[in-house]
Amino acid sequence: MTARVGDHAPLGVFDSGLGGLTVVRALRNAFPNESLIYLGDTARVPYGTRSPETIVRYARACARVLVERGVKALVVACNTVSAIALDLLRAELDLPVLGVVEPGALSAVRALERWVARAGRVPDDSRPLRIGVLGTASTIASGAYPRAVARLSTRYEVVGQAAPLLVPLVEEGWTDGEVPRLVVRRYVEPRIDPGPRGPVPGCTHYPLLESVITEVAADLAGTPVPVVDSAVATAEAVGEALREARIPGAPLTTDARLEIFVTDRPQSFTGVAQRFLGADLGSVEQIDLVSS
Ligand code: DGL
């Protein structure tokens, strides 16, 4: 499949559900003139508990829908798909394909470097700096984050924690209050120990819980803990990839549009998405991946 590389072609973004909107928000901030097509595979969320074979099948179906709509680059705004199927999508598609794991690893390393610079020294130089990753079961089992962090530096150690219950909480719009706080605490508590660390929400749904994660992690650690997400670094990587592939950006005069497709009834998605992205949410249309 080949990209339509005209400057008016949109960027394509997909996730299993709402989580990828965290990446859409960063892309809209970074590229206000670019049109975006977002696909949330709400009929099949969650992806994070599925087998690698199933995740690959779902990823191919999502990618096909977006490529057929003429996107100039594909952003896999899902850690699970990025961890399992990114190389395959890159090999199969003739357009830039960006994932969120590498930008997430980069954000974590940058956050820890800032932490160390502020602290002035590393508390114990003999121990690697720890990065906690909260992800879906598939993302954690894939080892994608430890690999991505190791490619950047050997100074860091990744401690992964699968946190599958956080995905349905976000899909339900339960992003604050006692219930998410207790669930986050249950996942984070066994992973908190002394020493600098930056928990990375290794699932694009989790930044919607950022304030709860920040509060619980600081409470457990007894000190503020940097919590980072990959959205802004992903937008930077998209910009770089477009420049490298010499794909033109949208002209300043473009009336940038956001088109949203989901694979199940749009009602509850629209409510949470509206709250998250603000009033200028575009249309939300239901499609069928198999027949589209
Ligand atoms: N938001 C996705 C991720 O980053 C998927 C969550 C899920 O569907 O389990 O992994």
Q: What is the CATH number of the domain that holds 114?
A: 3.40.50.1860
Q: Print the domain residue range for 47.
A: 11-99+232-286
108 and 223 inside one domain: yes
Residue 202: pLDDT over 50: yes
18 and 36 inside one domain: yes
Which residues on adjacent β-strands are paired with residue 73? Answer: 11
- Where among 210, 229, 248 does a domain terminate? 229
The two beta strands, 129-135 and 73-76, are: unpaired
Model confidence at 130, pLDDT cuts 50, 70, 90, reads confident
Model confidence at 249, pLDDT cuts 50, 70, 90, reads confident
User: What are the pLDDT digits (tens) for 114-126?
Assistant: 877 876 655 555 6
Q: What is the mean pLDDT of the chain?
A: 89
Distance CA 28, CA 168 (A): 25
Q: Ligand 1 centre and the CA of 110: distance in Å?
A: 23
Residue 221: pLDDT over 90: no
For residue 273, is it left (φ>0), alpha (ψ between -120 and 50) or beta? alpha
Amino acid at 205: H
206 and 217 inside one domain: yes
Q: Ligand 1 centre and the CA of 122: distance in Å?
A: 33
Q: Identify the pLDDT of residue 274.
A: 83
237 and 274 inside one domain: yes
Q: Ligand 1 centre and the CA of 205: distance in Å?
A: 6
Q: Identify the pLDDT of residue 3.
A: 47
Residue 291 lies in a domain: no
Protein residue whose Cα sits closest to atom 8 of ligand 1: 46
108 and 221 inside one domain: yes
Count of structural domains within the chain = 2
- Where among 229, 247, 272 does a domain terminate? 229
46 lines ligand 1 (CB under 6 A): yes
Residue 100: pLDDT over 70: yes
48 lines ligand 1 (CB under 6 A): yes
108 and 208 inside one domain: yes
Which residues are tagged catalytic? 78, 203
Residue 71: pLDDT over 60: yes
138 lines ligand 1 (CB under 6 A): no
- If residue 284 lies in a helix (H) or strand (E), which one and from where to where? strand 284-286
Q: Identify the pLDDT of residue 214.
A: 92
Q: Identify the pLDDT of residue 277.
A: 83
Residue 5 lies in a domain: no
User: What are the pLDDT digits (tens) for 3-35?
Assistant: 455 668 999 999 999 999 999 999 999 999 999
165 and 119 inside one domain: yes
Closest ligand 1 atom to residue 135 Cα is 10
Closest ligand 1 atom to residue 18 Cα is 1
Q: Identify the pLDDT of residue 291.
A: 44
Mutate to test the pocket of ligand 1, among 55, 204, 269 (most ligand atoms within 8 A of CB): 204
67 and 46 inside one domain: yes
Mention every residue, 6+ apart, whose C-beta is less than 8 A from residue 73: 3, 11, 12, 95, 96, 97, 98, 238, 241, 242, 245, 247
Q: Ligand 1 centre and the CA of 138: distance in Å?
A: 9
31 lines ligand 1 (CB under 6 A): no
Q: Are 272 and 18 in contact (CB under 8 A)?
A: yes
157 and 211 inside one domain: yes
198 and 246 inside one domain: no
45 lines ligand 1 (CB under 6 A): yes
- Where among 229, 246, 273 does a domain terminate? 229
Span 272-285, average pLDDT? 78
Residue 251: pLDDT over 70: yes
Give the residue carrying structure tokens 């998410």.
180
Residue 292 lies in a domain: no
268 and 162 inside one domain: no
Residue 3 lies in a domain: no
109 and 195 inside one domain: yes
Residue 256 lies in a domain: yes
Model confidence at 281, pLDDT cuts 50, 70, 90, reads confident
Higher-pLDDT residue of 128, 22: 22
Residue 4 lies in a domain: no
